Chain A
Amino acid sequence: MLGGCAGEQSALDPAGRGAEQIAALFWWMLGGAVVIWCIVVGLAIYAIRIAPGPHDDRQMRLWVIGGGAVIPTLVLTVLLIYGLSMLPGLVRAAPEGSLQVDVVGLQWWWQVRYPASESVKLANEIRIPVGEPVQFNLTSADVIHSFWIPALGGKVDMVPGRETRLTLEPTRTGRFRGVCAEYCGASHALMAFDVVVMERAAFDEWLAAQQEPAKEPQGPLEVRGREVFLRRGCGACHAVRGTRADGVIGPDLTHVGGRASLGAGTLENSPDAFRKWIAHTSRTKPAVRMPDFDMIPEADMRALAAYLESLQ
């Protein structure tokens, strides 16, 4: 059964402080619920099948109604105290000086910024250091989305016109998955993101690498790929720092090759995935804003995929 709980997207396999507290709360509540259910249903079965005979009216009144009103009130009071005492810690902002990550939800991808490192603009993947509180500042550019990394903690909605906030503190390293948890249109089901929790040192290294402009293409295929990229107008929507592509409508692609997935968690990253995505976006993700580029000839497509893959 415990194996069934595990997973990179499971709230019952916690890897963050919030998720751990909530999971503990859940197990206690589940235990209590099972006990209560058994007692009540047991009483009902007893009444219907096992002891079908008239019982003393007054006694019944006292026991069952008193038990039906008094005991639930006591149990609920305990639960209320447990829940309320946990609440401030979960909604509190991260302490001064904590890492800040700004995330903007759009139909159907995630724009990620690390404000402390100005030029770092990412999409669909978030990396954070282990063992420290991180504050996510959330908003939406279009409809209501919701930012949820079940393994780390609860979710907070991304509402256009408001900035909301979620504090998470990972407690172990690993790779996790986050999803959008508020119905946001046709491809809501395909709006996910990867989360990588790393040791602080590794994180700092990664962040520094992200600040670098795009790597120069090494082989002839990749060079051709860059040329295809620029010629086909991809730069109108996508930015690749270090080239003249500087569009902001779509995800930033400066280091797209290093991401675990494409299309906001829809396809696992590989050159094939790039080809599939670019040629048939709408088949992969219904109603997506990026048009299908199935007119690109096969050879060019291979080059393009190789180039994007090389943007580590």
Chain B
Amino acid sequence: MSPTSEQRLPEREESLWMLTVSPTIWAGHFLASYVTAAVWCAKVQDSSSSLWPARIAIAIYTVTALIGIVVTGWIGLQRARVEPDAVQDFQDTPLGRHRFLGFATLLLSVLSGVATLFVAAVILFMETCE
């Protein structure tokens, strides 16, 4: 006998926290970039000194963050596309809920990725601590 949709997609394996992963990565990236730049500029004596070390650090953070965000988004995409023959996504079923959580995760990952890139763009323009 084929498993019910509840058995295939049990509630206990779902998590609302999944939605928050990509935005949290964005927040972590932002905080790390800000703290790195601020502490670097605070502790370096001369305000016209170069920002290179901080810029490189931020570039590394950005790559790391984007990897995390892309992976999360990919997981979300897979969940959103599960059992593509089933019809509408707000159907009152475990499938509906599973796809919703996946799709919302995907959307939040795309947003977090764009926001991460926005923030990282700063290193292309700022050269010193002034």
Contacts and interface: CB of A to CB of B under 8 A. Distances in A.
Contact flag (A, B; Cβ within 8 A): yes
Contacts, number: 25
Contact of B130 (A76, A80, A85, A92): A92
A220 interface: no
Interface stretch (B24-32, B78-86, B119-127): B119-127
- Chain B's interface size range is 10 to 19
A34 interface: no
Contacts of A92: 128, 130
A87 B125 contact: yes
B47 A84 contact: no
Contacts of B118: 76-77, 80
Given A88-B130, A91-B130, A92-B130, A73 B114 contact: yes
Nearest to A76: B118
A258 B48 CA distance: 38
A87 B126 contact: yes
A84 B125 contact: yes
A88 B126 CA distance: 6
Contact of B127 (A76, A88, A93): A88
Given A73-B114, A93-B47, A93-B48, A81 B126 contact: no
A7 B130 CA distance: 31
Interface of B: 47-48, 114, 118, 121-122, 124-128, 130
17 contacts: A73-B114, A77-B118, A80-B121, A81-B121, A84-B121, A84-B122, A84-B126, A87-B125, A88-B125, A88-B126, A88-B127, A88-B128, A88-B130, A92-B130, A93-B47, A93-B48, A93-B130
